[in-house]
Amino acid sequence: MNRRSFVKAAAAAPVAAGALAAPAAGATFETKILRLNLLHTWTTTMSSSAYRDTLHTAYTRDGITGHGEGAPIVRYHEDAQGAQKAAESVRDLLLSANPMQFSKVMGEVFKRVQGEWAGKAAIDIALMDWVGQKLGIPLYSYFGLDPKDTPLTTFSIGIDTPEITRQKTKEAADFPILKVKVGLATDEPTIEAVRSVTKKPLRVDANEGWKDKEEAVRKINWLESQGVQFIEQPLPAEMIEETRWIRSRVHIPIIADEACQRASDIPKLKEAFDGVNVKLDKSGGILEAYRMISIAKSLGMKTMLGCMVSSSVSVTAAAQLSPLVDFADLDGNLLIGNDPFHGVTVEKGKLMLPNRPGLGLSK
């Protein structure tokens, strides 16, 4: 057997464990699509919308219910229906598996479901919420973290007219650091509108909006003069070599977001980026996000936790890992008007984790 066929055979072997045990008595797994209404129409380089649909899951066993959520990302060709279909496709596995073997269970889910990262995140989060509740400890304790170590979160200002940008900046008075979306033709007026209201430190996200490396260098150096701390994803994800070129010509850190979906993406980004933005919806849940943070740290890169527009389920799940990271942008739940849960809160920008088992959610 040569190396290639040996590797193939080894990868295929665990699939033989296809004979599932019977579903556990009283175990249920529910999925539903929830429409989250945005307080402000949300515009980035990618889209503009007044609402977002996310997939919500509830895994019940032994009288305990774990809640999960995944926000499908259009950038990766996902939608809520696809996420729901993916989650439903592993229902039998979830109902018959031992949830305390969550790492094995999620390994099997990742093997069976191709793509559909938001769907996988919704499963992983529900499972980990259940595990934390079963053990009677908050998830941050399960990961050995101190809730006092949570970073400040930024509050995000989407792309808008200078007048609305000024208004949004005023509304964000409680947040000591703001994240401003740029990447369209209006970058300078947007930053000037923010600066006309506040002197706070800013972080800027171009969402792959600039296409030219010289233009990106000019913009980043101007942003530095405006008190910007770092720039997220200046060029399209695939322009890694050009980003490395930019990095040698600017002073502020460059953080990968769209270029960094999963753990396996990280090593090739090391020369071009100073850090990575990890999101549960991109990675497929808490377990993979934890791996991504560990790998980035081991490579000496900065780490950030971000989120999509989503409810307190997904944002609180990400916040459980936030004591590990340098930067947080966990405000997706603050952008909506119909959050079905309470979880992590924010006091003067500081993420405050609930001191309750699992995610610590309440209705």
| Residue type at 321 in one-letter notation | L
Q: What are 25's two structure tokens?
A: 């008595």
Q: Build a one-symbol-per-residue string for 238-277: x at contacts with Mg ion by CB under 5 A, - elsewhere.
A: -------------------x--------------------
Q: What whole-number distance in Å separates Cα of residue 13 and Cα of residue 11?
A: 6
Q: Which range of residues in 11-19, 77-85, 117-125, 226-234 is near Mg ion by CB under 5 A?
A: 226-234
Q: Residue for token digits 């070129």?
A: 245
With respect to Mg ion, which residue has the nearer C-beta, 66 or 332? 332
Q: How far is the CB of 235 from Mg ion (least distance, A)?
A: 13
Q: What whole-number distance in Å separates Cα of residue 193 and Cα of residue 210?
A: 20
Q: Residue for token digits 């849940």?
A: 285
Q: How far is the CB of 233 from Mg ion (least distance, A)?
A: 6
With respect to Mg ion, which residue has the nearer C-beta, 187 or 205? 205
Residue nearest to Mg ion (CB): 257
Q: Out of 78, 116, 232, 339, point to the residue binding Mg ion (CB under 5 A).
A: 232
Based on the shown chain and the rule CB under 5 A, indicate whether residue 331 belongs to the binding site for Mg ion.
Answer: no
Based on the shown chain and the rule CB under 5 A, indicate whether residue 69 belongs to the binding site for Mg ion.
Answer: no
Q: Which range of residues in 159-167, 175-183, 205-213, 296-304 is near Mg ion by CB under 5 A?
A: 205-213
CB 67 within 8 A of CB 252: no
| Residue type at 83 in one-letter notation | A
Q: What whole-number distance in Å separates Cα of residue 84 and Cα of residue 146?
A: 34
| Residue type at 329 in one-letter notation | D
With respect to Mg ion, which residue has the nearer C-beta, 86 or 172? 172
Backbone angles phi, psi at 163, to 5 degrees: -65, -50
Q: Out of 205, 242, 281, 288, point to the residue binding Mg ion (CB under 5 A).
A: 205
With respect to Mg ion, which residue has the nearer C-beta, 84 or 283? 283
Q: How far is the CB of 20 from Mg ion (least distance, A)?
A: 39
- Interhelix angle 312-321/286-298, nearest 10 degrees: 30
Which segments within the chain are labelled E, that is strand? Answer: 28-43, 48-61, 64-70, 155-157, 178-181, 202-205, 228-232, 254-256, 275-278, 302-306, 327-329, 345-347, 350-352
Q: How far is the CB of 72 from Mg ion (least distance, A)?
A: 16
With respect to Mg ion, which residue has the nearer C-beta, 48 or 362? 48
Q: How far lies 28's CA from each of 58, 83, 84, 200, in Å?
A: 8, 18, 15, 48
Reference 110, options 276, 6, 262; nearest CA is: 262
Based on the shown chain and the rule CB under 5 A, indicate whether residue 339 belongs to the binding site for Mg ion.
Answer: no
Tell me, by CB under 5 A, how many residues bind Mg ion. Answer: 3
Q: What whole-number distance in Å separates Cα of residue 116 and Cα of residue 14?
A: 22
Q: Which range of residues in 30-38, 230-238, 284-292, 351-359 is near Mg ion by CB under 5 A?
A: 230-238
With respect to Mg ion, which residue has the nearer C-beta, 116 or 205? 205
CB 7 within 8 A of CB 41: no
With respect to Mg ion, which residue has the nearer C-beta, 131 or 240? 240
With respect to Mg ion, which residue has the nearer C-beta, 154 or 169? 154
Based on the shown chain and the rule CB under 5 A, indicate whether residue 160 belongs to the binding site for Mg ion.
Answer: no
Q: How far is the CB of 232 from Mg ion (least distance, A)?
A: 5
Q: What whole-number distance in Å separates Cα of residue 311 and Cα of residue 118?
A: 13
Q: Which range of residues in 11-19, 51-59, 94-102, 197-205 is near Mg ion by CB under 5 A?
A: 197-205
Q: What whole-number distance in Å separates Cα of residue 324 and Cα of residue 145?
A: 8
Q: Which of residues 102-141 bind Mg ion (CB under 5 A)?
A: none
Q: How far is the CB of 344 from Mg ion (least distance, A)?
A: 19
With respect to Mg ion, which residue has the nearer C-beta, 187 or 232? 232
What residue ranges bind Mg ion (CB under 5 A)?
205, 232, 257
